[in-house]
Structure 1
Amino acid sequence: MPTFKVSLLDYGAGNVRSVRNAIMACGYEIEDITDPSQIADARAIIFPGVGSFGSAMKVLKRRGYDAPLKEYLSRGDKPFLGICLGMQTLFESSDENESGEAIPGLGVIPGKVIKFDETKMVVPHIGWNGRIRHQESPALKYVSNEEDAYFVHSFYAPITDENKDWVLTRTTYSGQSFISSVQKGKIIATQFHPEKSGNTGLNLLKGFLEAVENDNLDTAVKVDVDMNAETQLTKRIVVALDVRTNDNGDLVVTKGDQYDVRENEKEGVTSGRGGVRNLGKPVSLAGRYYEEGADEIAFLNITSFRQGVVDDMPMLQVLEEASKSIFVPLTVGGGIREYTDPESGETWSALEVAARYFRAGADKVSLGSDAVYAAEKFIASYREKTMETSIEEISLVYGVQAVVVSIDPKRVYVANKVSVDEKHVVVDLDEDNAGPNGERYCWYQCTVKGGREARDICAVTVARASQDLGAGEIMLNCIDMDGQGNGFDLPLMRAVSAAVTIPVIASSGAGNEAHFVEVFSKTNVQAALAAGMFHRKEVEIQACKSAMRDNSIPARR
């Protein structure tokens, strides 16, 4: 039985619930640090930093945590585990600040945290990547060198002569080497997220906590390192769960064709519209996908706020329950926007709505219609930022990696490019993708309100504007392909991924494992999403990953 409680430094930003659940899954109890005076007497501190560096340091200083933390860390004999931003704050400074100027960190580790070069790679670095060990540590006792861990960050700490003795592991991304974990004495920190790295991450937490228990955490030793070795970011398979209430008021996972989620004649309905398709309960189905190897899971709330944000308890409960046993990233989407309760008149900002989901267990929020409206205003104002859009508000506090923009366009076929308003990006189509009358061009018109309303703006424009406003990822759907099982819309994926420097998730149309190979081989998307084919057990996740590996596409094992 554990002989101590883990002191958790939760400063109020991002998804800390998953860290709590991971610690408890390792058999340890938690004591929250709610006052700076608790820091000095803590047996072992875990600091799960989520959000932007500048915002985090402001909160630490405002709450009086910074000075006691520096004192705790300077002693060298007190166990500490920092996660992601919790690692970056240990450095002297970071460029991640709204002013663009370097902001001081805790100053424990020499060096400055800087941004990946968007001109050379897709940023943020999101997904599963490996690590090359520079030390053998008790914390890594149960972790294999071959296992990938989950990363999500735009800024990194480079290895320098001054900090090389701190390096526990390093990772490479698009040729850029960076520190992926550090250790000196009893201070350990990781750039990756153990609480989102499946069994690999749980085993790291187990090793760390056991080493604290056995008082041998500071016995790490240097190993011979091949400085030419590199790691590889894998391509992600994301499973989406469309969640809504059925006619009986139960929350179910459903799926439809072009957003129609009710049973039809093919399913035995002889008159009128059938009931909402019920493909399972959200938490149990998500748990199944976690066990089967999904790299990420997205809950898409297609009922969203029918009674108002403060009453959206079922979806919050889904996240709370899912995060207890699912240790991969969770995204939630649907209705995340500014909301005014029609009865009380109380208004909730998009940031406040998102905060509720982060605290319930979400790692990312997906914005749909609200992002299209924000893009329209941004373009109309000659690309002037107001810091009032949902994208800007959320990314400023939680970081760009926490904001996904879901774009739902449909094809508008045209006979030639000159007939289209020049503000729209026209895409060339090959013979296999030609329109019903043989059209070899189209533009992708964005829709809102679940595909029910078309807007006079194209998908490429919305994607570019979303990136400029602070989105960290694009989830790219195509209404024409949704539910058809004929493959992803490759021309759309190429057009958008070529126009932005943030990751793109391909969505809509997957029907078999070959479609994943195709989209990863023929476009620059970093992830691909499917729903119905997995729900109906027509294709297994591992079959998709095997097909990817057979075609030299990196996939997490």
Structure 2
Amino acid sequence: MLTKRIIPCLDVKEGRVVKGVQFVDLRDAGDPVELAAFYDEQGADELVFLDISASHEGRETMIDVVEEVAAKLAIPFTVGGGINTLEDMKRVLRAGADKVSLNTAAVKRPELIKEGADFFGSQCIVVAIDAKYDEALGSWRIYTHGGRQATDWEVISWAKEAVRLGAGEFLLTSMDQDGEKKGFDLALTKAVSEAVSVPVIASGGAGAAADFDEVFVKANADAALAASIFHYKETSVAEVKEYLKEKGVPVR
């Protein structure tokens, strides 16, 4: 088993970190710059910063906040939200990001993935997938605009297409589990992990250290992302890593 990564996520709205349940009922979770510094000290392997309302509001990512966060970090840093063009990617990477996360813009214009991968390399391009189980589809449907708009894409079909275009990694969020703290969506994570050849970051549902062990062992995730349990100090990155070490899961 390869070394697994633990990744806190900063969902940022109007300059503050927020967290909700199933993408709604957002509440404040603190200052993004302070939290970034805290997670760097805590031993997080990477940090994800998502400007969650940028696409919905039709604006660019908050570059000033990205620059401030990047200045505090010595770990890899992924930024998403409102990235619609190659120029947007350049701006975010110049501001200090190591990777860009594409979601709504990539679904609307899939060639954007290829443009980014050709210019920066696939290792820079993370495709974020917000997926929700659809009974009629018999699988998970892709949503855009911060979970507000359903698309015609089924999750495995979209993941395979994104890899073909140059995606280097997936940030896979279960909308059904998001903020519920009942554990990651193992079926969704396993389905995507087995369908593609690139790393999959599981997101949505972390409630305890045991959930990380489960998603690594049972669903073959390469990394696991969490927000509220870290922001509200219900557990820590260090505690999760200690637990995983005891379980024999390789972590940094």
Which residues of structure 1 form unaligned runs of 5+?
1-231, 246-250, 263-276, 338-349, 376-388, 415-419, 421-441
Aligned to 1:456: 152
Question: Which of the numbers 7, 16, 21 marks the counterpart of 1:257?
Answer: 21
3-state SS in 1 of match to 2:152: strand
Counterparts of 1:471 and 1:242, CA distance in 2: 22
Aligned to 1:476: 172
Aligned to 2:4: 235
- The answer to whether structure 1 residue 296 and structure 2 residue 10 are counterparts is no
Q: How does 1:82-161 map to 2 (within 5 A)?
A: none
Bigger relative contact order (CA 8 A; separation at least 6): 2
**TM-score in terms of structure 2 length:** 0.95
Q: What do the CA deviations read for 1:74-97 (whole angstroms, capped 9, x no partner)?
A: xxxxxxxxxxxxxxxxxxxxxxxx
- The answer to whether structure 1 residue 404 and structure 2 residue 126 are counterparts is yes
Shift of 1:287: 0.6
- Across the two proteins, how many residue pairs are aligned to each other? 251
Considering only CA atoms, is the larger Rg found in Structure 1 or Structure 2? 1
Q: What do the CA deviations read for 1:262-315 (whole angstroms, capped 9, x no partner)?
A: 3xxxxxxxxxxxxxx221111111110111111000110013164743xx5xx2
Aligned to 1:533: 229
- The answer to whether structure 1 residue 285 and structure 2 residue 35 are counterparts is yes
Q: What do the CA deviations read for 1:151-197 (whole angstroms, capped 9, x no partner)?
A: xxxxxxxxxxxxxxxxxxxxxxxxxxxxxxxxxxxxxxxxxxxxxxx
Shift of 1:552: 0.9
3-state SS in 2 of match to 1:495: helix
Q: How does 1:156-555 map to 2 (within 5 A)?
A: 233-245=2-14, 251-262=15-26, 277-304=27-54, 306=57, 308-309=59-60, 312=61, 315-337=62-84, 350-375=85-110, 389-413=111-135, 442-555=138-251
Counterparts of 1:469 and 1:239, CA distance in 2: 27
Shift of 1:316: 1.3
3-state SS in 1 of match to 2:92: helix
Q: What do the CA deviations read for 1:320-366 (whole angstroms, capped 9, x no partner)?
A: 222223100010001111xxxxxxxxxxxx10011000000000000
Counterparts of 1:334 and 1:351, CA distance in 2: 14
Shift of 1:413: 2.6
Counterparts of 1:409 and 1:468, CA distance in 2: 19
Counterparts of 1:447 and 1:404, CA distance in 2: 16
RMSD, matched Cα:
1.5
Counterparts of 1:405 and 1:548, CA distance in 2: 27
Shift of 1:261: 3.8
Q: Counting helix residues as a fraction of each chain, which structure ranks higher?
A: 2
Counterparts of 1:509 and 1:284, CA distance in 2: 24
Q: What do the CA deviations read for 1:363-416 (whole angstroms, capped 9, x no partner)?
A: 0000111222345xxxxxxxxxxxxx21111111110000000111111136xx
Shift of 1:233: 4.1
Q: How does 1:6-45 map to 2 (within 5 A)?
A: none
Counterparts of 1:481 and 1:318, CA distance in 2: 28
Counterparts of 2:75 and 2:131, CA distance in 1: 28
Same amino acid, percent of matched pairs: 45
- C-alpha contact 1:254 1:261 (8 A) present in aligned 2: no
